[in-house]
Amino acid sequence: MARLKAACPHADDGIARDRLSRHPRNLVPRRAMPVGDDAIALFVDMARQAAASVAELKSRDDIPAAAAAFLRQHDLPEKLRLAADARLAGLDWGKIETMDGPAGADDAAALSHAFCGIAETGTLMMLSGPDNPVSLNFLPDNHLVVLEADGIVGAYEDAWDRLRKKMGESTMPRAVNWITGPSRTADIEQTLVLGAHGPRRLHILLIREQDA
């Protein structure tokens, strides 16, 4: 940073600080401004276009059954690495063996909680922390993510506004991960391969309950 400043002797630090403090918004397209049910519908459509699967649930109590159905569908062990999130505590997981803490290389499936969803692109905003280890997003082959319907916003700028409102202007999580569909690459002969750098499946559990 010192070298950059020396290379730009006429730069005004005050202008830069002012711009950062105002959080100027980029040009947001009209399609990224839906609200209510329209935002939910756009999010679900875009998430599915990005090869994610979406299960809409009536309440948080339906999460274990939906997770079990996903594991059975893909012939996976009844084991799930869980985020130690208070919003997931107290659920009856039945026959599913749950494990807390960061994910390991042997974990076939993990479940974590999204901070919010972006309708414009069907993207999940994931915050790192003790209750949501980053490894859950990348190591297991199957990633299940809980998202409340009232946590869906139109554009990325709205997501940052929500995060600043929650954590304050000067406090941020160590990492913010944006997840749009399962991991993919087409680097080799333009052939699409899922799961190259992370989960090959992304399953979103969308909670519709009004008091989520």
Closest CA to 199 of 145, 142, 146: 142
The two three-digit tokens of residue 187, written as one number: 């680097």
pLDDT tier at 72, thresholds 50, 70, 90? very high
| Confidence grade of residue 212 (pLDDT, cut at 50, 70, 90) | very low
Alpha carbon distances (Å) from 138 to 9, 52, 56 = 42, 15, 23
- What is the reported pLDDT for 201? 94
pTM, two decimal places: 0.85
Cα separations (Å) of 128 from 23, 36, 90, 209?
A: 22, 27, 22, 25
Longest dimension (CA), the chain: 65
CA distance 111 to 144: 5
Amino acid at 75: D
- Which CATH class for the 35-207 domain? alpha beta
pLDDT tens column, 29-65: 888 888 899 999 999 999 999 999 999 999 999 999 9
pLDDT 10s digits, 86-142: 888 889 999 999 998 899 889 999 999 999 999 999 999 999 998 889 999 999 999
Q: Tell me the percentage of the chain whose pLDDT exceeds 90.
A: 59
How far apart, in whole angstroms, are the C-alpha atoms of residue 35 and residue 90? 31
Write down the domain spans for the chain.
Answer: 35-207
